[in-house]
A = this chain, B = another copy of it.
Amino acid sequence: MTEEKSRHMTPDEFRKYGRAVVDWIADYQERVESFPVMARTAPGDIRASLPALPPETGETFDVMLKDVEEKILPGVTHWQSPDFFAFFPSNTSGPSILGELLSAGLGIQGMLWATSPACTELETHVMDWIVSMLDLPETFRSSGAGGGVIQDSASGATLCALLAARERATDFASNAEGCDGRLVVYASSQTHSSLEKAVKIAGLGKNALRIIPVDHRYALRADALSEQIQQDRADGLIPCMVCATVGTTSSNAIDPLPRIGRICRTEGIWLHVDGAMAGTAAVCPEFRHIHNGLAAADSYCFNPHKWMFTNFDCDCFFVADRAALIQTLSILPEYLRNQATESGAVIDYRDWQVPLGRRFRALKLWFVIRHYGVEGLRLHIRRHVALAQTFAQWVDDSADFELAAPAPLNLVCFRHKGGDKVNQELMDRINKSGRLYLTHTLLDEQFTLRLCVGQTHTQARHVRQAWETISETGREIMGGGA
C-alpha cells in the first residue's frame, strides 16, 4: 500500500504541520490579550458552524488549522490570558506544553512499570523532588512507606484517598462486602464539591458526610469536628476520613491542620489534605506555614496544573502508607501479569488510581521544574502573591468596596458595598466587557467577587487595569451609567 493511499502523516509531513501548529500557538501567545477573555458565543454557535457529518475522504491539515482559527477560537474562553482572574487558574508554560507534546509523540502507556519503566521511574523521581521543593513531610517520600503519584485531578485524588480510608476503616472489608451505612466522613462547609461527589461515588452516601462549621476566617472549627466525631461514635458509626483544605476554593481559607491532625491521630481517622491551588505556594519558604501540621496527614494533594505552570492534567497525590492505597486499588488479571510486577521490585501506578491506562505526565512536570528551576518558580509565586496583596490593599483603601475574607495568598474575596444585586451586575458587566474574567462565590450568604492572580503571564499592569475596570464599573452602576 502506498503512503498516498494510507493517508498516514509521514514524518516529513509531521515536521511541516508540527511547525505550523507550534507557530500557531506562539502567535496565540502573542495575541492572547487582544481577545475578550470570556467567549462571547451563544449556545449552539460553534456547532452550527460545523458539518453535520464527518468527511468520507481525508482533508488537508491546512484546512483544519484554518478551522481552528475561524471556528474554534471564537468559542474559547482564554484561560491563558493574563487578564484571567476567574475560578482558580489553570496555568501553563512553554516547557509544559512541549512536555505534553513529547508525551503524545512517544505514545506510551504507563499502567505498569514494565510497559515503560521510564514513565514510572521519572514519575516517582519527580514526586520525590516535589517533596523536597515544597518541604513536605518525609512520610510522603518513596524511600519510606509512602510515595507520590500523578492523578488527573484533585477529584481523582480525593476519591482515591476516600477509598483507601474506607478500606482501612473496615479492616479492608469494604471492597469485598460493600458499604453498610456506618461510615462517616468529615469536612467543612467550605470544602470543595469533589469531596461530596467522592462520598456519593464511594457508596457512603451524602448523608454520611458531616459538614463541620467554620470560624470567622472560613476555616474548619476543630472543636466542632471533635464534638461531631464523639457524637457519631456514640451513635455506633465509624468515622472514616476527615478532608481538610489548604486554600479553600471560595476564599483560600486554611484549615487548622495541627489540631485536626491531632484529632485524627487520636481517633485513628484517615486525614486527607486538599491543597489543590495553594499547595504550590510552599515552594517559597515564607509560605510553608500553610502546611504546618501536614505530617499527621495520611494523604495530600495539590495541582501543578493550577498554579505551577504545568498544563492540565497534573495533580500530585501523596500517601504516607502506599500499601493501604495499593491494597485498595489493585487487581491483577492474568493478561497484566509480568515478571517485574511479580518481583515486587517495581511500582505499578495503575494500582494507585481509578483508571488502568495512564500517559507519561511526569515529562511535563519534569520540564517545568528544570526549565524554571526552584528559584524561578519561587519568583513567580511571590510575584503573584504580591500582586494579589496589592489588589487587596486597593480594595481595603476604597470607599466603595470591602474585603470579604482574609487573603492569605493570591486570592482576593471582595465586594462592592452596594449589596448582592450590584455585585452580580458588576460581575456580569465586567465579564461581558471582555477586559477581564472574574467569578463569584457566596460568603455569609453574600454574593462575593473573587479575583485570583495565578496566570503565568499576569503582570502588575493587568492587575492594575482589572482594579480600574472594576472600580469604574462600580461607579457606573451606582451612577446609573452604561
A18's nearest neighbour on chain B, judged by CB, is B22
Question: Assuming A19-B19, A41-B118, A104-B311, is B8 touching A59 (CB within 8 A)?
Answer: no
List the one stretch of A67-75, A258-266, A267-275, A463-471 in contact with chain B.
A67-75
A282 interface residue (CB < 8 Å to B): no
Question: Assuming A56-B374, A76-B116, A155-B356, is B108 touching A97 (CB within 8 A)?
Answer: no
Whether A375 lies near B6 (C-beta < 8 A) is: no
List the one stretch of A23-31, A215-223, A401-409 in contact with chain B.
A23-31
A383's nearest neighbour on chain B, judged by CB, is B1
Whether B8 lies near A15 (C-beta < 8 A) is: no
Using a CB-CB cutoff of 8 Å, which residues 169-191 of chain A contact chain B? 174-181, 183
CB distance from A196 to the nearest CB of B (A): 6
List the one stretch of A228-236, A439-447, A473-481 in contact with chain B.
A439-447
Determine how many copies of this chain the complex contains: 2
Chain A: how many interface residues by the 8 Å CB criterion? Answer: 167
Question: Assuming A39-B118, A121-B44, A343-B43, is B107 touching A375 (CB within 8 A)?
Answer: no
Whether B200 lies near A55 (C-beta < 8 A) is: no
Whether B355 lies near A77 (C-beta < 8 A) is: no
CB distance from A325 to the nearest CB of B (A): 13
A80 and B8 alpha carbons, distance in the complex (Å)? 13
A333 and B76 alpha carbons, distance in the complex (Å)? 23
Among B28, B363, B428, the residue within 8 A (CB) of A105 is B28
Among B80, B115, B363, the residue within 8 A (CB) of A107 is B80
Question: Assuming A313-B359, A369-B54, is B201 touching A201 (CB within 8 A)?
Answer: yes
Whether B193 lies near A205 (C-beta < 8 A) is: no
List the one stretch of A88-96, A290-298, A392-400 in contact with chain B.
A88-96
Q: Provide the residues of chain B in CB contact with A159, threshold 8 Å.
A: 201, 354
A194's nearest neighbour on chain B, judged by CB, is B356
8 inter-chain pairs at a CB distance below 8 angstroms, sorted by A residue, are A14-B98, A18-B25, A61-B95, A64-B366, A101-B101, A178-B181, A178-B207, A180-B181
